[in-house]
């Protein structure tokens, strides 16, 4: 570790050697920025719970079994983004995917509980089918009997199914055409109650003098055990499920999903545009909104800071209640991308390496890649890396390399993100500032930021497995500070 007091004599000599920086106090001498780097400001970045609640009051995600039986399950749709409804949130159809083949869970009727039973089947009896969130698809089952077993077996075969609504639909000759059956089995990825039996039929689907469609004997069945969702690839579960959503800083916005789909939420986080001061999405909170007792939407809130259960304090507003809240953090394959493990002093010190990074200089160079503990130099926190001779002793480029290979997986794509600042020296001296992003010894891109304060840069790479990340650049007095490095799987 090199401290300020121990380097005074060395720095004096170095400044004398380098005429280019003769009028600039270099970083190693605790110099000040020509244009000071602004600290990350978290004010105004807390979860916008009001916008989420207001949008939940107007989104329409409820649907039921219409059209042809055995349709492909719709892909999870985005129904709103940052308070603006999408077409899917206004009940427009979403894209489709194929039904899974023979994915039976082998549950028996005893593994389900009856949520509600239907009315009788007399000539004047009328009932209604479910119109609710997270509708998947429907099939027709043999109507020789009220065929509960086949309906629940169908639910078992459909990925994400946890609820089945079994009912007769009369005066719909389209059903008879398919399987000579009018007994519909509609399945959902969320549970529902009799309060959501709102589809009474009323369509003229058969030629006159046939009457309008009507529903009879509509029953609902819910699986007793709901399987926890698998953690998305590239993420770790932080907490949940609880009945509290995060109210945390680093908030980047939200999206509504038409079902509880952690993979879809992860994809929203992965593709969310980087925040100018906070960087890429590093964490998401997914939860189900229940309004007046009925599932209404599924919120995916995104953050550039990792939150935890201590901030999951929003249990709802008014008629909206938070349920099934889970938090997931994105795996940063760079260990200590903020250099915060370098804390060998209380105020000011620097060195050419830490436990997780190694700085090297070319032949004849001196301190051309270093790590500083000094809050005024950092983008966020107390530590930061520097490319370019810390003392101004030379104008050679240094290299900062991870101390250990990254635990990446061959063939997968990753996004490298980092913040760079080159505004320590005046504009003329910082004009030639550059940084090479090096992946396994190969330059992936070179940035030429010139005179610039901290800004974010992103590079997409393909892994070979156990990859090596390095940054090469800096040529004092064209210093480059680097901070908050991440490598996220895409």
- If asked whether residues 294 and 442 sit together in one domain, one would say no
> pLDDT of 315-345, one tens digit each?
999 999 999 999 999 999 999 999 999 998 9
pLDDT digits (tens, 9 = 90+) for 73-100: 988 999 999 999 998 877 544 433 333 3
Q: Containing domain of residue 369, as a range?
A: 335-489
pLDDT over threshold 80, residue 178: no
pLDDT bracket for residue 21 (50, 70, 90): low
User: Average model confidence (pLDDT) for the chain?
Assistant: 89
Residues 345, 453, single domain; the answer is yes
Asked if residue 171 has pLDDT above 90, the reply is: no
Task: Specify the 3-state DSSP secondary structure of 443.
Answer: strand
- Reported as a pLDDT band with limits 50, 70 and 90, residue 413 is very high
Number of domains in the chain: 3
Task: Report the pLDDT value the prediction gives residue 43, as an integer from 0 to 100.
Answer: 85
Beta carbons of 79 and 86 less than 8 angstroms apart: yes
Q: By percentage, how much of the chain surpasses pLDDT 70?
A: 89
What predicted TM-score, i.e. pTM, was given to this entire model?
0.87
Task: Answer yes or no: is 17 within a domain.
Answer: no
| 236-257 average pLDDT score | 97
In 142-213, which ranges are E strands? 163-170, 183-188, 197-199
Tell me the pLDDT tens digit for each residue of 419-461: 999 999 999 999 999 999 999 999 999 999 999 999 999 999 9
Determine the pLDDT at residue 210: 67
For residue 8, being part of any structural domain is answered with: no
Q: Which of 296, 331, 366 is the last residue of a domain?
A: 331
Q: So what's the pLDDT on residue 474?
A: 96
User: Mean pLDDT throughout 408-417?
Assistant: 97
Give the CATH number, domain containing residue 372: 2.60.120.260
Answer whether residue 408 is part of any domain: yes
Q: What is the DSSP letter of 365?
A: -
Least Cα distance to 234 among 268, 257, 266, 265 occurs for 266
Distances 45 to 174, 248, 339 between C-alpha atoms, Å = 53, 8, 24
Is residue 195 predicted with pLDDT exceeding 50? yes
Side-chain half-sphere CA neighbours of 157 within 13 A = 18
Residue 9 covered by a domain? no
**Is the CA virtual torsion 377, 382, 388, 393 positive or negative?**
positive
User: Do both 327 and 339 map to the same domain?
Assistant: no
Residues 241 and 318 in one domain: yes
Query: Does 71 fall in a domain?
Result: no
Query: Does residue 251 sit within a domain?
Result: yes
CA distance 90 to 79: 7
Residue 361, domain member (yes or no): yes
What is the percent of the chain where pLDDT is above 90? 77
In a domain, 174, yes or no: yes
Residue 47 — very low, low, confident or very high, per pLDDT cuts 50/70/90? very high
Residue with the larger pLDDT of the pair 228 and 215: 215
pLDDT digits (tens, 9 = 90+) for 465-477: 999 999 999 999 9
Together in a domain, 209 and 260: no
pLDDT-based confidence at residue 7 (cuts at 50, 70, 90): very low
Of residues 250, 259, 301, the one with CA closest to residue 82: 301
């Amino acid at each position: 570790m090199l401290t300020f007091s121990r380097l005074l004599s060395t720095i004096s000599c170095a400044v004398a050697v380098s005429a280019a920086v003769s009028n600039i106090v270099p970083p190693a001498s605790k110099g000040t920025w020509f244009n000071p780097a602004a600290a990350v400001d978290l004010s105004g970045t807390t979860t916008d719970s009001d916008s989420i609640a207001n949008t939940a009051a107007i989104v329409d995600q409820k649907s039921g079994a219409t059209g042809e039986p055995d349709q492909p399950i719709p892909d999870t749709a985005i129904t709103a983004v940052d308070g603006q409804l999408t077409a899917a949130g206004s009940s427009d159809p979403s894209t489709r995917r194929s039904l899974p083949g023979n994915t039976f869970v082998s549950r028996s009727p005893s593994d389900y509980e009856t949520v509600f039973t239907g009315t009788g089947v007399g000539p004047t009896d009328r009932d209604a089918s479910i119109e609710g969130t997270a509708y998947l698809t429907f099939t027709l089952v043999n109507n020789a009997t009220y065929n509960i077993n086949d309906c629940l077996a169908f639910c078992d075969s459909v990925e994400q199914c946890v609820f089945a609504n079994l009912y007769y639909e009369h005066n719909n000759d389209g059903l008879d055409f398919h399987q000579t059956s009018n007994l519909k089995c509609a399945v959902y990825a969320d549970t529902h109650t009799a309060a959501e039996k709102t589809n009474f039929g009323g369509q003229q689907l058969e030629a006159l003098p046939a009457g309008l469609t009507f529903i009879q004997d509509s029953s609902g069945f819910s699986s007793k055990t709901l399987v926890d969702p698998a953690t998305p690839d590239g993420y770790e579960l932080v907490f949940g499920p609880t009945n509290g959503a995060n109210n945390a800083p680093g908030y980047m916005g939200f999206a509504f999903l038409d079902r509880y789909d952690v993979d879809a939420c992860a994809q929203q986080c992965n593709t969310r545009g980087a925040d100018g001061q906070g960087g890429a999405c590093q964490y998401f909170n997914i939860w189900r909104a229940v309004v007046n007792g009925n599932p209404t939407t599924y919120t995916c809130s995104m953050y550039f800071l990792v939150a935890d259960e201590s901030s999951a304090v929003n249990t709802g507003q008014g008629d909206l209640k938070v349920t099934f809240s889970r938090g997931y953090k994105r795996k940063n394959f760079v260990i200590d991308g903020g250099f915060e493990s370098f804390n060998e002093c209380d105020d000011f010190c620097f060195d050419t390496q830490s436990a997780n990074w190694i700085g090297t200089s070319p032949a004849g160079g001196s301190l051309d890649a270093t790590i500083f503990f000094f809050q005024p130099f950092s983008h966020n926190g107390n530590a930061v890396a520097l490319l370019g001779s810390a003392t101004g002793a030379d104008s050679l480029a240094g290299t900062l390399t991870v101390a250990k290979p990254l635990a990446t997986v061959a063939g997968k794509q990753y996004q490298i993100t980092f913040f760079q600042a080159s505004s320590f020296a005046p504009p003329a001296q910082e004009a030639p500032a550059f940084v090479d992003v090096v992946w396994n010894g190969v330059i992936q891109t070179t940035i030429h930021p010139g005179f610039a304060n901290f800004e974010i840069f992103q590079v997409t790479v393909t892994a070979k497995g156990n990859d090596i990340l390095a940054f090469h650049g800096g040529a004092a007095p064209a210093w480059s500070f680097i901070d908050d490095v991440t490598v996220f799987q895409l």
